[in-house]
Structure 1
Amino acid sequence: MRHSSKQYPKQNSQDPKQFRGGEKKVMKKSLSLVVAAAMTLTTASVAFADAAPTTTELTAQQKFDALKALGIFNGYPDGSAGLDKQMTRAEFAKVLTKLAKLTENTAAAKVYTDVPATHWAAPFIGASTEAKLMNGLGANKFGPSGQVTIEQIAKVADLVAGLEPIEGEVSGKVSAWAKGYVAAAVKAGLLPELPSYQTNATRELLVDVTYDLAKPEQAQELAITAKVAGVKKIEVQLNKAVDASKVTFEVKNATGGAVNVSKTTFAADNKSATLEFPSNLLTGDLTITAKGAEKEVSAKVTVEAEKVTKIEFLSDKAVFNRTDARIVTTTVKVSNQYGEDITAAKAGSLTVTSAAGVPTLASNGVLTLDNTKANIAFVKDQKFTVSAVDAGTGTFTSTTLTVSDRAQVAELTIDKLYNADGNTLAVGSDASTFYLEVTAKDQYGNKITDPTIFKQDTLIQSFNPTVVDVSKTANVVTYDANLDGGVLKIQLGGTPAAGTAKVNIISVTSGKSASFDVNVKDAVKVDTLSLSAPAVAVAGSDIEIPFSAVDQFGVAVTTASAINNSGAILSKASSAGTLAFVQDYVKKTPKLVLSGVTAKGPVTITIISGTGKVFNLNLSVVDSAVATVVTGTKDLATQLAKSAVVALDTDNVVVKDQYGRDFTPTWGTANGNYRLSVTSSDSSKVAYDAAKQTLTAAAKGSSVITVALQKNVEGTWTDVQGSAYTYTSKVVEQADLASYESPDVTSILNGDGTGAHDVQVTVNGVLADGSKVAVPNSYFTVDGITSGLNVDVDTNKLHANLTADQLKDGDVTGVYVVTIIGSNQQPITKNIKVSKAASAADKLELQSTDDATKESDSVLSAAKAKVDTAAEVQTLVAAATKTTDQYGVVIPTAFSKVYITSVANNHVIDAADATKSTVVAGDTFSVTALTSNGKNISFQVVVK
């Protein structure tokens, strides 16, 4: 692969510990994402094949050019490759990120004090750090300008190639930790034999190694598999890495209804992803489609009903109640087939029997054994058996419990500071939205879940209550079973002030304590704004100004509320209109919007950040948008058979404004409204009826059809200059048609006297070149051959009125015939299923309404006023769901159940009283709606 005579300059050595050189076990697990990285860069085969013939050894420059085309390497500003220069740690981080297709992560680089967020390599340093490919130098330093040694390159090269370190002789100088890696790399031809591997690597060496690793022998076509991993979780496996920032997953049920994915988490190697859902998956088949990669690929999974597979007693102790010796408790855990804890859901359905005391199992898993009715006290060290069985599955367990001293808080840890929105605690924050997560265990090692017991057995104190307090909340302690596997939460109180407050918790029973430093940052202030002019700023419409904001701590400010908080922005002004930072609750991003500018001209925007910096932007606002030009037609036949009639109205045209944007004019006769002006260059061939807005094919030949806009100006229809669009309409005789076709229809409902389920039969003519021609109804007739399958002769619509005797054995395959008049073509015989099955929901999909906007197949947005009560949500959901029955007919939507779950921020939607609902703009919640015949649709609602 490479000649051993190649020489590399001797340079200074580098500390190997930065790369955890001796940690083989860490390599196998946390760095396994790179093992298959060589197969992820499938496009490389084309780039490399073009560089030179495969029988010729490429030069380092050619390899660099190929890698540069893939975005793995960059050249220097002067255009050179810099192959003789040393590779810096920052450059190496970028190569690793691109080679392994990691997701760039600036936030993960915040652990290094010498890598500010504005550093060009911050996203790559963060990504390689998060994936444990690179580590810091100690003291929170990364050393981005430091160098990388050849033996460090050897280790990473082995990982990428999937090579294990080997025992072998290495002729050159090598550190003890790296000997196995170097030996493996040399044996595989990834590195030549060198006098020393402790010297710093050059860019040329890394180019050679990276080229060999990134070059696949054959492009691998993307494929996925999936499995159900939990009642709300599906794991997707991909056969190669993808760009996680571009790939999304669409989930649909067997009826085609969208199933909302609430969260997607890619693994570090970007070759698998976990999809989480806001509510339990319903039994049935699901199709998962990966979108945004090189092609769309799908996999199917079958969701089974949740079942109990394991019941266990978490302790062999039955501990005394804290006040009554006639009561003891222990803990039970119930798991499903995925190993998930479902105690809360199944506690009420388990049958528990005990040799002592009356058993009651609570949703938190606490099993109480009560002897108060018999008035018999339990005795310490008393033993008795207890068992539990799930009737649905027969899962059974039993154990012997020993009566023991009452549980008391013995061990404590304060795990972290928590805020549901992920906000930073700062001056101006609402302290009551922040909690300390605490894990408390009793003397038996069991987790304490009862806040009352926790408060009785502990002392909680803040040593700097002027910064943040806990005592002012009267030590509000709650237990959250859904957070981090179940934790106690201590609510903060007081008015936060900048500084650090040490919170201390002491167990009064064991004397053990835990402390936590609560850091309150100074009020977040926008320090730097990057303002950009929009592509076009149009008067009379909201103008969105692209921007980004960074606070005084170097952290991006990503919500409008944070930007608008007191002091974050000192002032903002515009020479015209109104300037405001507003939140896009659907995209979860802030927007800077200039509204109310009614006239063209220059507009100056001035914003002073919270730190006193001034930012200006000059805009040139252009005229208000108006309908300017017809650019095309849609859903319109341009080839017609003689006598054919087709509609040409406002639904058939594409209109754009003067800025090339799609535009919907206000059609009508009022002043300022628009209408279409349609003319035919030869009305003897194609005639236009303005009253009916139709084109009629009059005679064989061609005519140029001109479609233009007219505007009502003070009662006078005036042509919009330059708005015309022309196309040629061709008319053929019946004799010119080579054949005919009639699209299939699948099924029809028997006995629907309303006409809603009548089936329209259509016929197209086909020219010798295969192109389609619209033909008039006079060219064909439709006859129902099966008795009871009738046709409306005026509209060629089928309706079915078969007898009960004909349908006694179920659906019947009816037959109808399309006969072409005046043609030698054989009649077209068609089958259609006639069914007496009542119309029922078959396919559910979202649609926009006056009160809701379809943001995607699984996301709907609506104003808060429309979702204040459960009844309002049900009305909204029914209107926003398009329901198609098994006959392909759109029918009214009717749900038997609508479930509202996962309301954000612990807010609630009251069943009937809007005043009791607490949802606010920015909240989200999940909806699962079921029809009476078991069809369902799940999606997320964003409150605006």
Structure 2
Amino acid sequence: MKKSLSLLLSFALVFGLFASMASAADTQLTTAEKYKVLVDKGILKGTTTGNDGLGDNLTRAQFATIAIALAGLQAEKPATATFTDVKSSEWWYGAIEAAAKAGLVEGTGAGKFTPRADVTVESVIKIAVTIAKIEPVKDAKVEGASDWAGPYIQAALDKGLIPAGLDYKSNATRGQSIDVVYPVYLGQQEPAKVSVASAKATGVKEVTVALDKAVDTAKATFTLKKGAVSVALNATKWSDDKKTAVLPLKDVKISEGEYTVTLAGLEADAIDKNSGTFTATNEKVEKIEFVTASDEIAYSAKAKVKVKASNQYGEQASYPSSAYSVFTGYTGLGERVTKDDEGYLIIELNTNVNSITQNVSQIPLTIYYNETRVMAAKTFKVGNAPFVTKIELGDVKYDGTKTSLTTAGETAIVPIKLYDQYGNPITKDQVAGSTINFNQFIQPHAANLTATTDDFDNDNYFETKVVLAKKEAKAATYTLSVYAGGTSATASINVGAGKVATKVGFGEFSNVLASGDTSKAYIPIVAYDNEGNQLTKDELVDSVNAARVKVSVSGPVVASNTIIASGPNKGSVEITSVNANTAKSTVFITASIAEIDAQDFKTMNINIQEARQPETLVIDSSSAVKAVLGANSDFKILIQDQYGKKYSNLAGYQVDVTLINTDGTPAITLLGRDSNVAKVGTAVAGAPAISYTNAEGSQFNDGFTFDTTASVYGKVQFKAELIKLATGTAPQTSLKVVTQTIESIDPSKVDLTYSLKDPGALFAAKDSGLLPSGFDAADTSRLAKAVTIEVKDTAGNSVAFPGDLVQTVSSSNGLAVVYDQGTGVTNENDADKFYLLGNKAGTSTVTATVYSAKGEIVSASGTVTVKADAVAVETISAGNGDKQAAANTYNAYDLMDLKVVDNYGIEYKATNIDRYKKLLGVTYTVTNVKGTGSVSLNSGTNQVTINGTVTEFLLTAQAPNGKTTTTLVYN
């Protein structure tokens, strides 16, 4: 900014002597005060005497100092002075030397500079125009100005930089300039808001936009329109100062018409002027020229001459070769125009005909653009048959937007340009019947790089293909040398550091290996590439790294000596089991790399602990403290080993479960859950203890249920005791006792309160028309919510209450809320419960009548709200995070154990996820398929079919709002 300010100040020095630029700032500060501000800001320099010198004229020495500041140059102090009257000891020496070297100032004759002489207005104008890179108006004459200054003054007048009629030969004072310099300085401070300063076509498929302020390029966006029609753009290219943007057109060329560029993406209050317009013309060919300097052409059936056609932007014109014509004056030469990959025109003709005499005949070549007849003509002498005398290699092209080869199978394409002895192009068809012998070498030698040269059916143009056979550990640049016809050329081939393991180690292992373990344990392996980046599990187990990273396990265990390549434990070493009676032994795991490019070795030692044994009982979930009317309550106690893990082997131990009558004689029974049902049966208070031994620990861990009986009151205590059995002289020992208590209360002696549990907002499901047929009523729809009664005692404790005692339900606004009793057949809507379903947006008072614990009918009411807000997925989650599956067809939601909860709190599982897909919109994708088989997804039925041998793949479920969950499916 300082440089541009200085440039403006130079113009101020010219017209500030005479023009008036009155502003508020002018009247608020004196000339001296303005001068001080500019000096403090570094825009102007003070005098060496400390005197402002505002009434002094500008000297040539002072002006040299200003000139190099304008041009952004630094002072230079050569050992030998350029001018005899400028001494190295004087303050202006460095400025005058730098200005003279840059051609900004000249001497006054006889080797002198005359530093103390005054500077005229016309001298200042000339230097300002020169620094601003404004083209002088050739031969211009300006009244009152010297002839040499006329072209520069006219250029400044044309640009509006100075007013007409100045006294160009007069001298300029410092003080008279300051009054103009200061408002210019104020006006050139960076604006608070950004504006589009200009927009113009700078190429046939390119628009350049200039802003007056730097912007956040990550946010700023542009749109381009021709009239009212939008023009598609590719990615914007920004200048380093973030003020200039180049907009490449995607599909079309700039054509005649009015264009508008609009800036967006920034905060509205950060933009002042958001658009700019420009008028464009159709592309036109402005110049055609022969590229080859030689005036000879080869004696060949396919002789070629290279030509360049330029458009108004200085680019190679984009018109096809058919837009040009070529004329020779001969018949039978078959002359035609083609275009090469770089956009050059190639004139092709047959000079090997009877009418042509080798080394004698001359062919006048004229090529012109058909529309405007812009042309180029040159006469060529027909020489000898072509042979390769020069080879050039074009820019290396990597896959996509990459700048190096990094992955196995990637290819770099190197275009080859061949030239004959006359500097004209040679292609394969030109040397038909003979062979160009290519040789290509890569240095230094790289075993994983191969190079092949051919035309590869590429329209007769040759190229070298360099293929990376296997990714490499380290980044390197190789030199490709291609030889042809006794000449050669080179190009650089970049090979990036692939994700190749050069360092290994072990991840965190927080488990315990205990003597006699039969459950599997996994030791994670970690690896790092040459740049220190940790490899992903997929990268670690790919073919390259699987061959590089060696692992071994030794010690009293059964284990794999390979890294697991698929499944949830990918990237780990599996220890299948630990030998019995091996406590205090050690397991040794090693991971190593032994390659030419990397050497690393790591060891992990894991001490085997004492065999697992039951140590304690812990409460996993508690029962309700009280119950009425025969309500049930579940609870679960778990056996835990000495390492804090759930355990089930009770060899040498047992768990005794007893049910103790503590108050009255209640008919409260104990039931088992899941696999525990058969073991418990129906246990009653006072019955003998139920003993769990040996492998029965898993049944105990499945849990229990208190089953109370209506009209029978009292309390029972469940007691579970973990016992270590006697061995030898060691007596039986009680290790842990855990209890759970429930009381079946007499409602005639206890006051209870009943309330309608708030179901939360309901969706206006029926009115939406999105419910599936057959599942569109309160008794069948998954979007219905159960009428639930909350019961509490006087102390505020929740009391277990049977869910089937609701007798009736009513809704004060049937347009908002409808209700019905569940069918017990579909959609998990129990037959003994009532359900509410939203119809239209609104509110309704819902009242339920309930048989109370005292046998009375009581009512409980609450306000229910129905909303029309669209159903959206609030949470989406997979069950276990991974799933095994062999070749077959599966429902996607089953493979994932998928669960979806919407914004109304409704949970969907299994078939309901698909049944309500109009509401939920869950879709699926399959990625990262590994193995030799395939995986297909039917988007209509949401079924996944696995064919052949598939080791693993990722199955992702996605909601319309972007929420996703992914499951690793493996075999």
TM-score (normalised: structure 2):
0.39
- State the TM-score, normalized to the length of structure 1: 0.40
> Higher relative contact order by CA 8 Å / sep ≥ 6: 1 or 2?
1
Q: Which has the larger radius of gyration?
A: 2
